[in-house]
Chain A
């Protein structure tokens, strides 16, 4: 890979984990990574690690009402998984 293309690839990777990419840039990034997106995940991990490293002393707590809605959503998700599992078992009979 040329130095120019390598620089462009790094720019797209950095943009993807900070500003996000438009559809055209996302397609360009995928095309530049013919062997999968391991590098995307490495950049995502680096950004997440920076985020945690710079964590404020006390994280703002999750509001109780939001927590309750998340648990309701989790239940619905688990039920949908159960239904798919059941349907799959029926399909194997």
Chain B
């Protein structure tokens, strides 16, 4: 934590005297300078990690003045871009991709407990403080990583979800609180955008990738425009508006589900079929798959499938009628 500065030295005040800037703006100016560093080195780092980009000054000034800016969308766009760039790399050699990966570490620590808690973390501090400091991470071996990814206890998927004991219905109007509005934006498919000067980043944001973390069914990814990562500045403006503004003016009723039964695995039939055809028993087998060996798709041994009200439970390949799990 940075304690507030109680007094400025003559050297710190001189530039303001020279430029004839009112004394009341001194603290705001220094705060804007600090926020500029924070934006460039922590929130949205680029290739020039050690440099302050001139283009952040407008945004930093707005933030220092008290205006709230949506930092989640550009930051997540940068993260998705970085991970996508790594995923399509043609070799396993070192790759220079700069993006705020510390948020990914924080996400891993939140969902998979891969970090030890920082000794000085207190309730009320930002969650990322829990996962700070060196040598605080726990690196699982292959077998342990497979166990983690199985998520045997579905409740590990909801550490950040806003859920009540019973499902609640929201009407997305302008009267929603800031938190619920942000929650609805999060639950909306669209495109994430980041504009840094002439550089434009557009990344698809598809709810079925993380819907289960908010109590919805896991559905198969069947988005025809998921590879649409190119666009003009006008596209960026349109995507931004569609994701953040449009939904909050349509008065749509949205049901936020209650926490699912711990024993239920909420996936749709389409997803289960996709998983069987493309992954088989990958995670239920032993840890050893020699490099280059093809994993043959196999029938899932035990998958609980839920699909709308006429839900079916598929166990060991046999389908039977079952009451819906809500």
User: Do A and B actually bind?
Assistant: no
B residues apposed to A, CB below 8 Å: none
